[in-house]
Structure 1
Amino acid sequence: MTQLLIIGAGILGLSHAYAAAKRGLKVKVFERSATPLGASVRNFGQALVTGQPPGAMLDLARESRDIWAQWAQLSGLQLKRNGSYLFARNEAEEHLLEAFCAGRAQEHDYRVELLQGTAMNDLYGGQFRHHRAALHGLDDQQVYSREAIPALINYLCRELKVEFHFSTLVRDIEPGQLHSTAGTFRGEQIIVCSGHDYQTLLAEQIAELNPQICRLQMLRARPQVNLNLQHALLTGLSCVHYGAFADLPEAAPVQAQILRDAPHLHENGIHLLISPTPYGELIIGDSHHYGSDPSPFNAEQVDDWMIELAEQTLGCKIQVTERWQGVYGSRGPGPFSFLRVAPGVSVALMHTGVGMSVGPAMAESNIAQLLGEQ
């Protein structure tokens, strides 16, 4: 029986473990901490299809959507399948959404609907009528990552007999074996899914990709009005960030307006995302700062700007209950890399913050490739 060793129990590591174990491979996963603590649990839990650009990323997001549905059924993790609302706050953002719906959405079969007028005013009992329009992304999904990742681990362990080694640092790998704080293990294939750790394993090969690290400021908050929010929320700010919209001609006036009226949002990479948790709270963010090492210091001003945006969008005050720093690997040669660096040794890296959206299908493709499937 082929044995696969995976380093990292984030969404990429778990996705590769699932793709391999369901094919009958014997899989062992190694994670340096007692439970995953990286990008896969610090995020919004949004598996977005609507924001992905046409081509490979959109295809991967659609395939990943189906895999998430399988996981929800198999593991019992909570999956919200109501989609997302992207709000147009002004005329330029509304024109961009209209152009997207009239052109690209039809051309590439994005499942969306544009709410305007009465439909917009009736949304959530009129809570969002201060916006001009809302793009309902029908295929977008959400999980509460802090619970979904452990639920997935539990399922892989219990049903697919994946063996997990937590609190185990892998110090070195070579074809056919890895050396860790729990001893030496042998496997025909080794896949490194180490997130933004570019220095512990395969440092020379990863360095050639010239990747960077993105750090984000994130908040958890309770709205002072009981919104009973069941959808992820975005605003037109996200349109200049996500590839589905950013290269459309109608995006240029949106970007120009941000640079003119709120240059601090551009300078700090702030575009609003809001995700409801199962407990009536909201996960709110985020900012984007890039470098080779994430600064450990958060700026209160950035949080203040995000809170202000969130309150404008929600139409109510919020009470912050928790703050943290997200961090993920970014800015490599493309949105992701899968390198086969030695016989039986590969590394899978995301270079953008959409691992939850495309990681499951990306892993499926990588495992199929390793096993020589068509």
Structure 2
Amino acid sequence: MSSDLLVVGAGILGLSHAYAAARRGLKVKVFERSATPLGASVRNFGQALVTGQPPGPMLDLAQQSRDIWGHWAQVAGLQLKRNGSYLFARTEAEEHLLEAFCAGRARAHGYNVELLQGAAMQDLYGGQFRHHRAALHGKDDRQLYSREAIPALINYLSQELKVEFHFSTLVRDVEPGHLHSTAGSFRAEQIIVCSGHDYQTLLAEAISELNPSICRLQMLRARPAIDLSLQHALLTGLSCVHYGAFADLPEAAPVRAQILRDAPHLQAHGIHLLISPTPHGELIIGDSHDYGSDPSPFNAEQVDDWLIDLAEQTLGCKIQVVERWQGVYGSRGPAPFSFLRAAPGVSAALMHSGVGMSVGPAMAERNITALWGAAS
């Protein structure tokens, strides 16, 4: 029996495309090579960041994705923290950058933010973060626990929208109208490949023209020594030279210069601190950035030590690491993402940055609209 859409990959991009199609009443099948998703979508921080996105298409997609996540939380039972994020300024240069952002770009482009300074820092979490100069509250940012959210979304798509899943199934080849897998061959009007950073199994020649690379990250899960009851994602001024909302502002140059002068190792290893609370009182902490054609399997203990030191400085308490792993995602393509029309009825949806959770749901809606028109 023929389907309307076959999706390869059950990460956030694959699930988002499946959802966008299924809610239009289309018949959808999803194929995933492992028994459960194990790629970037479950190795991340679960941060759906609006505040860090540059103005323009990425900000628009993040705002739209925020609303989709809110809907999924209702219908699929996802635990979604809606309290936003705090980006801490640790130095005068970082504080000036946040002030400039709030006075200029935030107002001009409608970022929903508030800058906390002075007495407001004393009130934040009972003064736990008063050693920072300021905190930018990104009120539109959302946060979820990916390891639980992705399976919950799969269950919703399967049970309520009747998406058919084929797990532990390797897709060997795709061609117009046909998909060939270890579970047999299938027919459909459209096939969308959402296979993450695997650039060699499917559509390798077409993808190679984008010259994409892979980014690997060192990640930690830890318990704080005190009960923080943290309900917000946390970032620091280190992220301001990484995220497009801030990185091109004139006030970012002194921040970048300060990092290069005082902590060049952070720049060399692409380290900027992110902390996400889990529903179980633990913290996901990272990350570093190492780019190449293949992710090295070897972690550097020194990088983890730097991350731990940064986390303890930011939190104002010691932490105990309970788990370590490698994050990995596709990166450094021609744009933040691509929708590649490889052949009639055969496409590939690729992320070239680590913001799939932030923009993926709306990106998929846009792609499905291009193929089938707007939902009624």
Matches of 1:13 and 1:118, distance apart in 2: 45
Aligned partner letter, 1:236: G
C-alpha distance in 2, partners of 1:221/1:180? 39
Alignment of 1:355-366 (within 5 A): 355-366=356-367
Contact 2:22 2:161 in 1 (8 A): yes
Which amino acid in 1 is paired with 2:181? Answer: S
Alignment: residue pair count:
374
Give the letter for the 1:98 counterpart. E
Matched residue of 2:24: which SS?
Answer: coil
> Which consecutive residues of structure 2, in runs of 5 or more, have no partner in the other structure?
none
Supply the distance in 2 between the matched residues of 1:171 and 1:284 (Cα, whole angstroms): 36
Q: What letter corresponds to residue 146 of structure 2 in structure 1?
A: S
Distance 1:347 1:373 in 2: 20
Q: Kindly provide the CA deviation profile for residues 205-224 of structure 1, in whole angstroms up to 9, marking residues without a partner as x.
A: 00000000000000000000
Give runs of aligned pairs for residues 336-351 of structure 1, distance below 5 A: 336-351=337-352
Is 1:275 equivalent to 2:276 in the alignment? yes
Amino acid at match of 1:321: V
Deviations 1:216-252 (A, max 9, x none): 0000000001000000000000000000000000000
- Rounded Cα–Cα distance in structure 1 between residues aligned with 2:21 and 2:225: 45
SS of 2:222's partner is strand
1:242-281: per-residue Cα shift (whole Å, max 9, x none)?
Answer: 0000000000000000000000000000000000000000
Residue aligned with 2:320, SS: strand
Scaled by the length of structure 1, the TM-score of the pair is 0.99
Q: Which residue does 2:30 correspond to in 1? A: 29
State the match for 1:60 in structure 2: 61
| Distance (whole Å) between structure 2 residues aligned to residue 296 and residue 173 of structure 1 | 29
Give the letter aligned to residue 264 of structure 2.
Answer: P
Distance in structure 1 (CA, Å) of the matches to 2:141 and 2:231: 12
Residue 121 (str. 1) matches residue 117 (str. 2): no
Deviation track 1:305-356 (CA, whole Å, cap 9, x = no partner) reads 0000000000000000000000000000000000111111000000000000
Give the distance between the partners of 1:257 and 1:225, measured in 2 at CA. 31
Q: Post-superposition shift, 1:2?
A: 5.6
Q: CA–CA distance in 1 between the matches of 2:251 and 2:79?
A: 36
SS of residue paired to 1:59: helix
- Match of residue 104 from structure 1: 105
Report the alpha carbon displacement of residue 373 of structure 1 after superposing the two structures with TM.
4.3
Partner of 1:181: 182
**Offset from partner CA, 1:53-110 (integer Å, 9 cap, x none):** 0000000000000000000000001000000000000100000000000000000010
Q: What is the Cα deviation at residue 3 of structure 1?
A: 1.3
- State the SS of the aligned residue for 1:25: coil
Which string of whole-angstrom CA distances, capped at 9 and with x for unpartnered residues, describes residues 127-183 of structure 1?
A: 000000000000000010000000000000000000000000000011001100000
Letter in structure 1 aligned against 2:141:
D
Q: 1:332 is matched with which residue? A: 333
Distance between the aligned counterparts of 1:71 and 1:230, measured in 2? 20
Alpha-carbon separation, structure 2, partners of 1:246 and 1:81: 25
Inter-partner Cα distance in structure 2 for 1:63 and 1:170? 31
Identify the residue that residue 205 of structure 1 maps to in structure 2: 206
Q: Deviations over 1:272-292 (max 9, x none)?
A: 000000000000000000000
* 3-state SS, counterpart of residue 188 of structure 1: strand
> What is the CA–CA distance in structure 2 between the aligned matches of 1:284 and 1:102, rounded to whole Å?
30
Q: In the aligned structure 2, how far is the partner of 1:177 from the partner of 1:170?
A: 11
Deviations 1:15-73 (A, max 9, x none): 00000000000000000000000000000000000000000000000000000000000
Residues 1:76 and 2:60 are matched in the alignment? no
Inter-partner Cα distance in structure 1 for 2:343 and 2:26? 20
- The one-letter code sitting in structure 2 at the alignment partner of 1:274 is I
Residue aligning to 1:133: 134
- Once residues 119 and 182 of structure 1 are traced to their aligned partners in structure 2, the CA distance between those partners, rounded to angstroms, is 58
Where does structure 1 differ by over 4 angstroms across 4 or more consecutive aligned residues?
none
How many angstroms apart in 1 are the aligned matches of 2:139 and 2:114? Answer: 8
The 5-angstrom pairing of residues 135-174 of structure 1 reads 135-174=136-175
In the TM superposition, residue 121 of structure 1 has moved relative to its aligned partner by: 1.4
2:10 equivalent in structure 1: 9
Q: Percent identity?
A: 85
The corresponding residue for 1:219 is: 220
How many angstroms apart in 1 are the aligned matches of 2:324 and 2:299? Answer: 10
CA distance in 2, matches of 1:122, 1:25: 50
Q: Shift of residue 371 of structure 1?
A: 1.1
1:89 maps to what in 2? 90
- Per the alignment, residue 301 of structure 1 pairs with 302
Q: TM-score w.r.t. structure 2 length?
A: 0.99
Aligned to 1:229: 230
Tell me how far apart the structure 1 counterparts of residues 182 and 322 of structure 2 sit (CA, whole Å). Answer: 37
Shift of 1:372: 4.0
Task: Give me the whole-angstrom Cα distance separating, in 2, the residues matched to 1:122 and 1:159.
Answer: 44
* Residue in 2 that maps onto 1:241: 242
